Amino acid sequence: MPTHQDGASPDAVVPVALLLAAGGAQPSEVIVRRANELLGTDVSVALVNDALAALGAQGLLEGSFGAWTPKPSRLREVTWEQLGLHAYVRELQALLAIEERHA
């Protein structure tokens, strides 16, 4: 996972990675709202954008600023296998599905 050396806050990188692994591509503003509401993480659009850039630099996303596309298998590998957060990803998937049904 990216660190402070990559220019991104770990406090933003992990929640962003979790949300992308659970819900696929999302606008930065949606990631901010979901991180705040679902994960209790206080992040800004700027922090999310830095996290997206750091994840892209690590090969977890494709594209460029404003048009990132997650690489699901790589995100799953990192969040599930390396960080052991598979239960969080599954729970987020369920919460996002409920959110989308009520939207």
- The mean pLDDT of the chain is 88
Give dist(CA 47, CA 76) in Å, integer: 22
Strand partners, 70: 61
**What total number of domains does the chain contain?**
1
Of 25, 16, 38, the C-alpha closest to 95 is 38
pLDDT digits (tens, 9 = 90+) for 15-56: 999 999 999 999 999 999 999 999 999 999 999 999 999 999
Give dist(CA 13, CA 8) in Å, integer: 7
Q: What is the pTM of this model?
A: 0.87
Distance of CA 48 to the CA centre of its chain: 8
CA dihedral (84, 57, 30, 46) in degrees, to 10, reads: 120
Give dist(CA 37, CA 25) in Å, integer: 18
Cβ 29 vs Cβ 45: under 8 Å: yes
Domain that holds residue 54: 4-101
CATH code of the domain containing 64:
1.10.10
